[in-house]
Amino acid sequence: MEGKEKLIVITGATGSGKTTVRNYLVDQYHVGKVITHTTRSPRKNEKNNVDYYFESDSSFAKKHFLEHVEYANAKYGSSYEGLKKAWHNNPIASIVLDTQGAITYLNKLGNQAIIFFIQVNDHNSLKKRMIERGDSKEKIKQRLCSAEYERDLKIPIELRSSVHIIDNSNWQTAKHTVDKLMHELF
Ligand SMILES: Nc1ncnc2c1ncn2[C@@H]1O[C@H](COP(=O)(O)OP(=O)(O)OP(=O)(O)O)[C@@H](O)[C@H]1O
Ligand SMILES: Nc1nc2c(ncn2[C@@H]2O[C@H](COP(=O)(O)O)[C@@H](O)[C@H]2O)c(=O)[nH]1
């Protein structure tokens, strides 16, 4: 997978603002968007084929994924076809992944992968943001109890030498960091 194309891999804890950063990159910098697949049900305002490809367990099992994971009892996966589609429109694309997926992409793409880790130091605000997003109490509880939640609060050792940290405790500050990174990197 060597080439001039780049993939901005946006990772971090649940509720930290990965999707918010990705939407900003799409709106402001017109980066391509890799849509991934999931078996979880859509949140209010989420649309099939736009936010995710929403799958049943059986349709998910038939797909050929570049990588797939389980996160808080649901399945998620991304394909090479999805990446090629995003790169077809723009040589800079973006994808939102858990930290396990981010490590896989860094290993597969090398320096074509640019890792953004979205950080929020006050972990209580992650729960507040999920409530404000409209997630059900039950889903939030399940997520906060998961091993994946704990794992993704910290930058994994495998990403440490390549990661760009974006503190999203405050959106104006985060936006400023994203703008600075985009000017430095491209
Ligand atoms: N800096 C911020 N301050 C307050 N709220 C924010 C901030 N950034 C994002 N949000 C809000 O927090 C909620 C979670 O953000 P978002 O969905 O982007 O997180 P995420 O990391 O993609 O989460 P998940 O991994 O759970 O899908 C959204 O309602 C979003 O509008
Ligand atoms: N490794 C992968 N992680 C993915 C993929 N699609 C989404 N995600 C990550 O899963 C969790 C939960 O997502 P949510 O939308 O239910 O909150 C989050 O960290 C996403 O970034 C994927 O294809 N592969």
pLDDT digits (tens, 9 = 90+) for 86-143: 999 899 999 999 999 999 999 999 999 999 999 999 999 999 999 999 999 999 999 9
Q: What ligand 2 atom has the least distance to the C-alpha of 18?
A: 21
Which of 63, 65, 98 has most ligand 2 atoms within 8 Å of CB, for mutation? Answer: 98
> From ligand 2's centre to the CA of 75, what distance in Å?
8
Question: What is the predicted pLDDT for the residue at 76?
Answer: 98
Q: Is the CB of 15 under 6 A from ligand 2?
A: no
Q: Is the dihedral of CA 116, 121, 127, 132 positive or negative?
A: negative
Token pair for residue 111?
Answer: 């320096």
Question: What is the predicted pLDDT for the residue at 75?
Answer: 98
ipTM more than 0.90?
Answer: yes
- 9, 102 Cβ separation under 8 angstroms: yes
- Stretch 38-49: mean pLDDT: 96
> Can you tell me the distance from the alpha carbon of 122 to that of 136, in angstroms, rounded to the nearest whole number?
21
How does residue 8 score in pLDDT terms, banded at 50, 70 and 90?
very high
> From ligand 2's centre to the CA of 70, what distance in Å?
9
> From ligand 2's centre to the CA of 103, what distance in Å?
13
Spell out the domains of the chain, with CATH numbers in brackets: 6-35+91-185 (3.40.50.300)
Question: Edge to edge, what strands does the sheet with 67-71 contain?
Answer: 53-54, 37-38, 74-78, 67-71
Question: What is the predicted pLDDT for the residue at 3?
Answer: 63
